[in-house]
Structure 1
């Protein structure tokens, strides 16, 4: 939790390796209109170098990659305020980020 709630520690976290991301993206070449991003983002301590943490997110529609960024912020703030556990926040995002705010009660 210290790393998740410490903004300077988050800035020092390694970013996903570009080659790994490109390789994963090529493996899903049919997924046009998608961006391969971290399932559990850095805000919640997601593993940036774990290929299993990369997954496709759409650029179009109502639930997009940029929408998910905002959704991750509220649970992260709730974790830092000790309203919910880090485990609950990660689980809600991983299981279905579109319902994570309702599931955790922070939205």
Structure 2
């Protein structure tokens, strides 16, 4: 029996478990029945495939998710927000999808949809309205992220625009220039976006992103000051 299942049994049987065992109650549990990770995976970008996007996937229950942190930047709870990908975007069609200027606008959910989802996601992460935040696609649309799957969206605390935007743009540059495969970039940004360059063998040189092992091989910048992506 898992930790979270045991905790739920204690709550049910004792009723007063929050008063008797405060440390047990404080331990967060994600929707998968395992202790919440707080967004800090154990290692690397891994090899497991990301979920296929499903707009009907359930939103995590209120208070079940915990914001993590790495290098001073917020990370989503891996149990609540593992990331999900758009099945209509594949390595073979990136020139017609994510590498085509303006394509993300064709798949971006309307604000009327995301406004409701953001409010629910904020409750999942126990974030109040006073917290400055952006409702962010963990795997961005410009890397083939699922547009409306709750597993790929979370209320990211911090200033707007946030530092993750630049990472998204440069990974899109790298994928569209053939430096790294689409799936590798998707997995790296989903697992831990702050180390995505290292996890994909990339380095930033000035305004360009290049291969770490071959610094002369760099991607063409496609974005400038644009925020077409997310």
User: Shorter chain as normaliser: what TM range?
Assistant: 0.7 to 0.9
**Number of positions where the alignment pairs a residue of Structure 1 with one of Structure 2:** 104
What residue in structure 2 maps to residue 15 of structure 1?
109
1:88 maps to 2:184: yes
TM-score (norm 2): 0.41
List aligned pairs for 1:65-104, cutoff 5 A.
66-104=162-200
Q: Give the stretch that moved more between structures: 11-20 or 71-80.
A: 11-20
Structure 1 unaligned runs (5+)? none
Question: Structure 1, residues 58-102: CA drift from partner, whole Å, max 9, x if none?
Answer: 316xxx861000011111111101111100110110011000011
Q: 1:38 aligns with which of 137, 143, 148?
A: 137
Structure 2 unaligned runs (5+)? 1-93, 204-230
Which structure: greater helix fraction?
A: 1
Larger Rg: 2
Which has the higher relative contact order, 1 or 2, with Cα contacts under 8 A spaced 6 or more apart? 1
Q: Counterparts of 1:49 and 1:7 in 2: how far apart (Å)?
A: 21
Question: Structure 1, residues 36-66: CA drift from partner, whole Å, max 9, x if none?
Answer: 3111111111112000111242316xxx861
Q: CA deviation at 1:26?
A: 2.7
Alignment root-mean-square deviation, CA? 2.1
Q: Counterparts of 2:187 and 2:156 in 1: how far apart (Å)?
A: 18
- Seen in structure 2, the aligned counterparts of structure 1 residues 8 and 65 have a Cα distance that, compared at 3 Å, is closer
